Structures are given as C-alpha cells and as structure tokens.
Chain A
Amino acid sequence: MENGNTENTEKPAQNGGAPPQNGNGEMCMSLNAVNKWYGEFHVLRDINLEVCTGEKLVVCGPSGSGKSTLIRCINRLEEHQEGRISVNGIELNDDLKHIDEVRREVGMVFQHFNLFPHLTVLQNLTLAPIWVRKTPKNEAEEMAMHFLKRVKIPEQAAKYPGQLSGGQQQRVAIARSLCMKPKVMLFDEPTSALDPEMIKEVLDVMVELAREGMTMLCVTHEMGFARTVADRVIFMDEGQIVEENNPEDFFNNPQNDRTKLFLSQILSH
C-alpha cells in the first residue's frame, strides 16, 4: 500500500488526536481528511480519525450529526468524496476488490438488526461463511453454534428471526457478523430499537466482545457502556468531530460547549 499523503496532511486532527490508551499501537483503521456531501449538504467535514487494533471507540452526538454516515463510510455502504479511508492497510477507493476485502475485515451491526427473515437463525449465520468465505457447510455450522453459544441463544438455532424477541435478534445479528471473523466491528445504535429490558442482554454481549479484544467502533447513546468499555469517546456535531477524549475526561470535564449541552441533555433523564 503506498502511503503518500496528499495536501491534506497539514490540517491538524482535532484535539491533536488523543493517544490511544488500549490496543497494541498497531494501526487498524485510519480516516484522513474525509469529506462527504449528500447533494449540496455537507454531511462529513474533514474527518480525521485513527483507530488502533484492539481499541474501542464510542461515537456520540445529536441526531443528524453524521454518526451513521461516518461508520457506514468505513465499509462503503456510503461513498465518501474526499480524503482517504483505509482499513488494515487496504485503501477504500473505486476498486471493487478493495471494497470486498474491506467488507470481509469489517463486521457491522445495524439498529434494526437486518436479519434475513427467510432463513433460520443458523442459516443466517452460515450463509456468508459458506458463500463468501467458502467455508465447508459443516464447519460453518459448527462455528455458527459456537457463536450462538457465546451470545447465549444456541437453543434458537432452528427458529426464524420473526419468532425471536428484539434482543435475541440483535444478538443473532452480532453472532452473524462474528461468523465472518472480522477484525473490526461497527455498531450503529445497536440498542436503540430495543425495549429497556432487552438492552442489557445486548450490551452484555458487547462488553464481553470488548473484553476479548475486538476492535470496536460503536455509535451509541448508552453512556454506561461508553464508561465501561470505551478507550475513547468521540463527539460529533454537524458532520465534524468536535471533541475526542477518554471517557473519564469526556464525561467529567467536557471542553466543548456543544458537548456540554449534549451531555446535560442526555444525562438529565
């Protein structure tokens, strides 16, 4: 991978980019002066972000600030127009091969689970390993059962997604991503479509995943989760990263006015 930085290098990262506390320092993901527009609307403005292997990032910010767009750019569900994004040294550009490679490294969990309703839970988990990774069927099924045990619902393997509760569906979705053995997991508000009593079961799975050392980038408003597992919290507003800090300082000592306002709103109820 050539690493020739362009004219964007002189722009400094906000806050000087707080140094990662966790992780082995190996670069996993980097976004460099990324800009994106929806038509006239400038949705991502000059995003610089570096994530080390094993690091856990929490992204928060008000609705419409571009959080989803940011993490969806990382696996090319959305296309960025300026700047460079690379994952594990693979640069995301128009080369379809690169996109496929990146998608194999990156797992994604959606707000609305997006399980395949026409397939059983087990088939949901084995479909991509079999067809994308070419894993033999029995191996894929073994692996699927392994991950179903880890998300604590092996007994649901034969059911269809429509027969599970929201929390169970989201855990299946996490297991489905894990079956592809990703190096990075992206979460886009994984608990915000769930009833309160189901949120915990999903967060527990995510905390465990974090403990095992998975690199995670997580859009969430679950501040308890952020305090427990995050190495860094990123606050976005109007398409910009306006604050970036470790959770301790982020929550106790926010610098930016918009962050303060956001935190007071979100922590007040």
Chain B
Amino acid sequence: MAGAVFTPIAARPAPAATVGALGWVRANLLSSPINALLTLAALYFAWKVIPPSLDWLFFNATISGGTVAECKTAGEDGLIVDAPGACWTFVKVRFLQLMFGLYYSGNLDQVWRPVLMFALFVGLMIPLFVRSFRKKLLLGAFIVFGFPFVAYALVHGEWLGLPVADTDQWGGFMLTFFLASVGIVGALPLGILFALGRRSQMPVIRAFCIFYIEMWRAAPLITVLYMASNLLPLFFPSEVDFDKVARAMIGITLFQSAYTAEAIRGGLQALDRGQFEAADALGFGFWKKSGLVVLPQALKISIPGIVNSFIELFKDTTLVLIIGLFDLLNMAETASRSPEWKGYDLEAYVFTASVFFVFCFGMSKYSQALERKLHTGHAR
C-alpha cells in the first residue's frame, strides 16, 4: 500500500541551563542539602562495594587451567588456601554440565546436538528483530509450532536415529529453557481462551473459566509441580509411563495460563466498549471480532503484564528441583557440591544469576521495544 508516512515534528530543544552534564548533576544530585548528603552517602557506599566486587569477579579471579589447584595459593604459613578471587575455572570445567546436563557432558561426541539446537533457535530469532524482514508472522508461527519438534528430535535423538538422550538426562540451562519456553508458548493461547471465556455471556463457560483461573492462582507453583509429578500419573493407565519432564511442563503451562489469562483480561477490560460495538455493527462474528479487533488491542495493552508473568515463570522454573529435575540452578548447586569443587558455590550462584539476568532483562527490553513499535498515536 502506497501513501504518506506520518513523521512527528521534533520537539523544541530545552533551555540551555537545564541541559548538559553539569545541569543534570545540579538538578538531580545537589538540588537541596539533603539531596547532596544522600548523594555523598551513595558515593561512599558504592566506593565500599563496587571495587571489592570487581576485584573478586574479575581482577583477582582465576579462569586458567582445568583443576581445582589453579584456584589455590600458598598462604603465609605455607598452607594451601583459596585464592582471593572467584574461581571461574570451576564454571569453565563444568560448563557443559551446567548448560546441557549430565548426558551431554558425559558424551562429548554428542554435544553438537544441543549446540545446534540453540544455534538454530538464535538463528531463527534474529530475523524477528530485522525491521525489513516481512514474514515475521510466518516465522514466529514456525518457531512456536514447528521448532519444538526440531528441538526435541535433535536433543532426544530417537527420531533421527541418534543415540537417545532420555528426558531424565536433560538438565542445566537447556532444561530451564525447555520448561520456560513450553510454559510460555502453551500458556499464551490457553490464557487468551480463558480470558475471553471469563468475559463470556454464557454462564456455564464463564463459571468454568473463573473456577479454572482462581484454582490455579490459589495454589503455589511448588504444590502444582508436586501434584503434577505425583497425581498426574494416577489419571493415566499405569502402562503409560508418563515422562517426568512432560509432567512438569504440563503443570507449569496450566499454572501459567491462569496468570496469562488474568493479564489479558486486564487488557480486555481496558478496551472501550465502543470497539466491541463497532465490530458487532460491522457484522464480525465472535471469533473474527476477537481475533481482528479485540485481541490485537487487548494483547498490546497487556504486554507489560504478560511479559512480567513470563519473567516470573522463567525464574520459577527453578522450583522443579523439588521433583528431582536438574535445571540450571539445581545443576549448579549439585556441581558445586561435588567433592572436587567443594566450596565454590558462590561462583555457581553468581553464574546462574547472571544467566537468568541476561534472559529476564532481554525479555523485558524486548517487551519495551514491542510496545514502542505497536504504538500508533492514540492515547490507549
């Protein structure tokens, strides 16, 4: 479609006295005696905390070699003690275990499989961020509906005739990634349905949706996981050997769908009634009205809420340790408890935290970019 592109007129520059580094410092840090005092206190605190942290993290840290000996030094009286900095050697040596779990760290000739899986994932994601790429929807649909099968085929191996890595051998970041992605991808459509259902005119559907949402919201994830792991098998014939990871995924997805539904319902409620009426008056049926008019707007409004619940989910996957799954955190903890690397749990936690930070921060930034991109100049 050809046509003029709307370009807003740039705002006038601010008066000179309020701009520049000096202006900023004066306005924000030293505007009153109390503010100046707080600024000083904060500076002192930063001085006490940041340099030692940097020393520990980087300047005094060890990453060379492959044994625990690298991280030890001779103390004053000749005794062997821990070096003053972090021992990243430990993370380096156990990296494959932390990333892909025990099967792959024990079968180095197979490591290419999860590596290829992640590489494919990243490669498929990149075009989504390229402005000129036109088929984003199609690609997105493939990532959601097609890629899980590719990932499973690669990592499990049976479908491709590769050595089988059973799901109970999956672990580390890879397991965290699978649990969170399945939870996110599964919860979104379910959440949409339950959010629409909760606003339905039909009492039976509405009551069912309210019951569903409130039931999951009333239970902590930890109980849900525990029940998924212990109760779910009771509903199936005993010869169905229900996979532990699959059980966790089902539990997480259903749990998450309730939160997603509530976030979306918030968006639905923020929509003007006139939007529904205009769609009705034009003759859209329920599904077209929902898909073309209501949801695009409601989802946009609820992006912050939805992403917020996804970030929470991502972190909450660490709870699977209570049903005996080795996600990144559990794996890190286990590795730091091995006799060889005893005492390096801080390194394990810092590493785990930074991996989580990168992903959660990335999701948050992506959602902000999405909100900006979808903004079309109207107030809502």
Chain A residues with a Cβ under 8 A of chain B: 75-77, 100, 103-104, 106-108, 110, 112-118, 122, 127-128, 131-132, 141, 155, 157-163, 176-177, 180
Assess whether A162 is in contact with B377, with CB atoms less than 8 Å apart.
Answer: yes
Q: Given A108-B281, A141-B1, decide whether A158 and B6 contact each other with a Cβ distance below 8 A.
A: yes
Complex interface: chain B residues within 8 A of A77 (CB):
277, 280-281
A109 to B219, CA, bound (A): 47
Q: How many Å from the CB of B26 to the closest CB on chain A?
A: 37
Complex interface: chain A residues within 8 A of B185 (CB):
none
Assess whether A114 is in contact with B274, with CB atoms less than 8 Å apart.
Answer: yes
Assess whether A155 is in contact with B376, with CB atoms less than 8 Å apart.
Answer: no
Assess whether B6 is in contact with A75, with CB atoms less than 8 Å apart.
Answer: no
Cβ-defined partner of A162 (8 Å) among B281, B282, B283, B378: B378
Contact flags B114-140 to A (C-beta < 8 A → 1, else 0): 000000000000000000000000000
Name which of A106, A116, A122, A180 has the most chain B CB atoms within 10 A of its CB: A116
Assess whether B283 is in contact with A100, with CB atoms less than 8 Å apart.
Answer: yes
Q: Given A117-B380, A118-B374, A160-B377, decide whether A131 and B288 contact each other with a Cβ distance below 8 A.
A: yes
Assess whether A128 is in contact with B282, with CB atoms less than 8 Å apart.
Answer: yes
Pull 18 A–B residue pairs with CB atoms less than 8 Å apart, ordered by A: A76-B280, A77-B280, A103-B281, A103-B282, A107-B281, A112-B272, A114-B272, A114-B275, A118-B374, A127-B292, A131-B288, A132-B283, A155-B4, A158-B5, A160-B6, A162-B376, A176-B282, A177-B282
Assess whether A132 is in contact with B376, with CB atoms less than 8 Å apart.
Answer: no
What 9 pairs between A and B have smallest CB-CB spacing? Answer: A162-B378, A158-B3, A114-B278, A114-B274, A162-B377, A117-B378, A128-B282, A160-B376, A103-B283
Q: Given A118-B297, A161-B378, decide whether A131 and B6 contact each other with a Cβ distance below 8 A.
A: no
Complex interface: chain B residues within 8 A of A116 (CB):
275, 278, 293, 297
Name which of A103, A122, A180 has the most chain B CB atoms within 10 A of its CB: A103
A117 to B275, CA, bound (A): 9
Q: How many Å from the CB of B275 to the closest CB on chain A?
A: 6
